[in-house]
Chain A
Amino acid sequence: MAKRTLRVGYPGNYREIEVDSPDAEPAPWDADSKLAVVGKRSPRLEGADKVTGKAKYTADVKLQGMLVARVLRSPYARATARSIGLAKALKMPGVKAAIEVEKEARYHGQAIAAVAAETEAQAEDAVAAIEVDWAVGEHVVDVEAARKPNAPRVHGGKNPNERGGEAQNTATEEACVTALKKSHATVDITFTTPVVTHSCLESHGSVARWESDGSLTVWDSTQSIFGVRDGLARGFQLPAEKVRVVKEHMGGGFGSKLGMGQHSMIAARLAREAKAPVKLMLTRKEEHLAGGNRPSSVQRVRAGADKDGKLTCLWLQSHGTGGINGGANCAGPLMSLYNCPVRRLWHADVITNASPAAAFRAPGHVQGMFALESTMDELAGKLGLDPIEFRKRNDQNEMRQAEYGEGAKMAGWEARAHLPNSGGRHKARGLGVSASIWGGGGAPGAQARCVISRDGAVEIQCGTQDIGTGTRTIIAMIAAEELGLKPEQVLVKLGDTTLPFSHGSGGSMTAPSVTPAVRAATAAARGRVFEACAKSLKADADNLTAKGGNVVAKGGASIPWAEACSKIAGANVSEQATRAQNFRGYKDGTAGCQFAEVEVDLETGHVQVLRVVAVHDCGRVVNPLLAESQINGGIIQGLSYALLEQRILDDATGRMMNANFSDYRIAGPKEIPEISVVLFDVSNGRTNTGVMGIGEPPIVPTPAAIANAVAHAIGKRITDLPITPDKILAALGKK
């Protein structure tokens, strides 16, 4: 380990710290680093391929002799298939294989059986011909009904549907009651949030092909190629190296594509039966029914503050449902964001006959932040304090304190009491704020290889995946920075398990996990080039640098990059590096805050979000264009959650009623506000790149900021998401 001194912090607030970084790694970038490529706006390398249709997604994969699969799904929320008759389906034209998947249906849309046929239409016909003898059971989909002692047990047996209770090391009820009694101001509000589906534009899907040597190749729309590989290897009892998973491009995952999905196993099983490659892409309806979802929440928040505006107690009692499984805990923000002497958490997951939840962009935090930040505004109101002032008094994060300043200026917070109004007496405007909080620091273990050829070609090999965030581009930028080249001069190979290992892309971890490995591998390979060409420059390899497309010696002598590479003995140099542990650094999480300005139509209850100002930090910003793109996407998804989206289940049958994009409302062009992004530059000294993730942070504060803006506009608080017109009208007493 080498001791290195780094300047960390943010503009106007830097300090020097000492970190231990591995000897083999290049010196970590810090606030003083002058970089040529990293930090510049740089278009996506695959952008042209995507807009011209040249980019191949899983759905575009076409193989010789490939069959198409379709899945029979349960029409019942709870039923047992006494028998599943495949014989008739197998005799249908074009049908090559049919398999049973599951006999116990515990939710509407659960996969029961599947077929593979030569065409999609044949496969659909065959699915319709499968004969199931159903015994329909009792279901429960309502979260409150499921909690009752006499409710049908979703997983059978005697286990109650409600599982959970008091958190560990939490304050007692008694301590909370005492703290609240002593408080100057208190609130007690119950917040509720709906189940929402991920609604990825590219559905879940796989193409599976068994090779002649008994190995399996799968093209999969996944956030985790190695996760799918390991899942399939377990499922078929194969050594992991006998399974190869490939994913070139992806049209959205948002957490629902972490790990292996059931469709991957189904496709591979059918391919084995049929002795032919099989493609299985879920339909839009199947995506809603079984593609994952964000759990609901019911959050009772009791909170208090003293007369100086310091929090005295935060007490969360919550439950929620992620269907047949999936944790609904959303206490993260409440338990971590503010200083508070007395904090209590009681939470239970409620199992219902609904499709299983999956990780969804900032799991728990979106629900939790809505409740916490709504509570903060209510308390600020009772204390007669400005909402930002109240937050600052309880927030020890200096980054967020500074971010509030920048955001408030941009959002026009000072004029909050006198917002203009375009619609006369029928409209009301409001301005709201919310804090953000997330990790996103990355993990050790990711690997990358840099191969530099005699002709100067540079290839980075890394078994990560670009889930649409631009990972491919930032990898090229990091390597180009190290080599004094342009990003388009670097060929990035990713999305294939034959490449060096990398983690699944979740938790905003990809950029911070992968970039340090890429930089270390590139620096090592560059060292090999310097050794090869040092003699030509009559210099020591240690005194060479790569910049502007040249290799330059200390004295000023230089040769072009390609010429330097021509000195390599043999075909190429190749170096691999593994991402080290995080250094102690400056801060291990991201802060951030958002401001939303809304206009509420008092006659119709319609909420129009006019503008969102988003201030976010993510360590070193590799490419502002891509970071802004992530922030735009997070805000739009958060707005959609705040105002529009909800899965609706019919209580009597347990069926989802709005499993399409007409009735499941997602924000469209007219709902999207003006978005102003401030990237708050932080030198965090945690890795050799100092990069942190920005995938999840921007969705965390949006719903809360919008809810607070609505409350500011109409003087009534909506505690139940989504904030649909009926709720506004009810709050305004309109009949």
Chain B
Amino acid sequence: MTSPFTFWDARTAEEAAALLSKKGAMALGGGVDLLGEMKEGIRAPEHIVNLRSIPGLDKIQKTDRGWRVGATALLTDIADHADLRKDLPGFAESAEAVATPQIRNQGTIGGNLAQRPRCWYYRAAEFACVKKGGKGCPAEKGENRYLAIFGDGPCHIVHPSDCAPMLVALDARLFLRGPDGARDLPIADFYELPSKNALCEFTLKPGEFIEAVEIPTALPRSTYVKIREKDSFDFAIAACAIAGKIDGDHFTDARVVLGGVAPVPWRSVTAEANLRKNTIADAVEPASNSATDGARPMSQNAWKIPMTKAAVARAIRSFLPR
């Protein structure tokens, strides 16, 4: 954290976009991720643009399109929002599943969605891997127990966000702001596989940042199940987000998205199909088993397959009458 930088408190979204267009500028939400990267010496911004100084950017409000959550809304505030939880239980659960109370009190939804991976080789300055513009992936023959079981490389990170898979399942839209104005896109399109872009997991043009996320309420039943190695504080070993509609004993619409197992939130179409064509009770086995179809574990991470199945099974079972 030694390189000097200029710190800017942005006052408006337009000003933030202008500041972020400067060379070496980075957006700051809660700082949880950025400060860690700077401390490890893998990120040295010349300008840090604080988004939390923008009035109203942290708003959580219901609109005629669903819920609009500003980029600097705190994870704690999302988890604790009673009305939002009623409409989008899975989203509240995913925010609550993040890290620790201290981090949720500081971390923002924008930062959570645009956080960088936790791969040990990426995080250590000594390794010049493909994600940092170098060559190859040292994890392939090295320590990969927590890395991806899906995806084609050349980088095998898992996307670390808890909220992202849930928001993909809920079919949320991201609202971005940049020097050329605003645009929005389905959140699933925000994330890119390393085969397309190894350097970054998401698509932001120069100067762009996340301004808000909008979540429709069309899928009223949702849940997020996260499996950790250490319950007090951990990223997901495997996670499952389900959003859908239930009629009686079965899902009429269902979206199943896996977390912690792929470089991006990983939608499982086969699990969804199995979920739709069975009663909920009968779907547990086939949907959870098929969720890992196509998985290609690395040398140390095959244990994530039963973990993933467990996450899916648990998520489906949560919809059964108790």
Contact = CB atoms under 8 A, between A and B. Distances in A.
B161 to A, nearest CB: 15
B306 interface: yes
Given A124-B2, A662-B233, A668-B232, A735 B302 contact: yes
Q: Which 10 residue pairs are nearest across A and B when measured between Cβ atoms?
A: A668-B232, A726-B303, A603-B310, A734-B306, A670-B231, A657-B120, A670-B232, A124-B2, A665-B230, A125-B2
Interface in B176-193: none
A425 to B, nearest CB: 12
A605 B305 CA distance: 12
B265 to A, nearest CB: 21
A663 interface: yes
Contacts of B145: 726
Nearest to B3: A125
B227 A650 contact: no
B227 A604 contact: yes
A187 to B, nearest CB: 27
Nearest to A650: B142
A121 B141 CA distance: 36
Interface in A639-698: 644, 648, 650-653, 655, 657-658, 662-663, 665, 667-671
A725 B145 CA distance: 12
A652 B2 contact: no
B138 interface: yes
A124 B40 CA distance: 12
A366 B289 CA distance: 40
Interface in B295-312: 302-303, 305-307, 309-310
Interface in B19-73: none
Given A608-B231, A668-B230, 15 more contacts: A124-B1, A603-B306, A603-B309, A603-B314, A606-B229, A648-B120, A652-B138, A653-B127, A655-B126, A658-B120, A665-B230, A671-B232, A726-B145, A726-B303, A735-B302
Nearest to B120: A657
B243 interface: no
Contacts of B80: none
Contacts of A734: 306
B126 A724 contact: no
A725 B307 contact: yes
B16 interface: no
A247 B127 CA distance: 39
15 contacts: A128-B2, A604-B227, A604-B310, A608-B231, A648-B143, A653-B126, A657-B120, A657-B124, A668-B230, A668-B231, A670-B231, A725-B227, A725-B229, A734-B306, A735-B306
B227 A652 contact: no
A85 interface: no
A75 interface: yes
B257 interface: no
B234 interface: yes
Interface string A593-614: 0000000000111101000000
Contacts of A665: 229-230, 234
B113 interface: no
A725 B143 contact: no
A167 interface: no
A650 to B, nearest CB: 5
Interface of A: 75, 121, 124-125, 128, 603-606, 608, 644, 648, 650-653, 655, 657-658, 662-663, 665, 667-671, 724-726, 729-730, 734-735
B39 to A, nearest CB: 9
Contacts of B237: 725
B303 A729 contact: yes
Contacts of A652: 138, 141-142
Interface of B: 1-2, 100, 118, 120-121, 124, 126-127, 138, 141-143, 145, 227, 229-234, 237, 302-303, 305-307, 309-310, 313-314
A663 B233 contact: no
Contact of B120 (A606, A663, A730): A663
Interface centre among A128, A603, A652 (most CB of B within 10 A): A603
B314 A655 contact: no
Given A125-B2, A671-B230, A657 B306 contact: no
Q: Please report whether the interface of chain B is mostly helix, strand, loop or mixed according to DSSP.
A: loop
Contacts of B229: 606, 644, 665, 724-725
A729 B233 contact: no
Contacts of A724: 229
A19 B138 CA distance: 66
Contacts of A650: 120, 138, 142-143
Contacts of B227: 604, 606, 725
B143 A657 contact: yes
Contacts of A75: 126
Nearest to B234: A665
Nearest to B305: A735
Nearest to A668: B232
A126 to B, nearest CB: 9
Nearest to B288: A603
B142 A644 contact: no
A731 to B, nearest CB: 11
A446 B316 CA distance: 65
B231 to A, nearest CB: 4
Contacts of B307: 604-605, 725, 729
A605 B127 CA distance: 32
Contacts of B127: 653
A330 B49 CA distance: 54
A651 to B, nearest CB: 7
B124 A730 contact: no
Interface centre among A650, A668, A734, A735 (most CB of B within 10 A): A650
Contacts of A669: 232
Nearest to A652: B142
A663 B127 CA distance: 17
Contact of A651 (B124, B142, B309, B314): B142
A604 B126 CA distance: 34
Contacts of B1: 121, 124
A341 B307 CA distance: 47
A652 B127 CA distance: 11
B184 to A, nearest CB: 33
A726 B305 CA distance: 10
A652 B232 CA distance: 31
Nearest to B119: A657
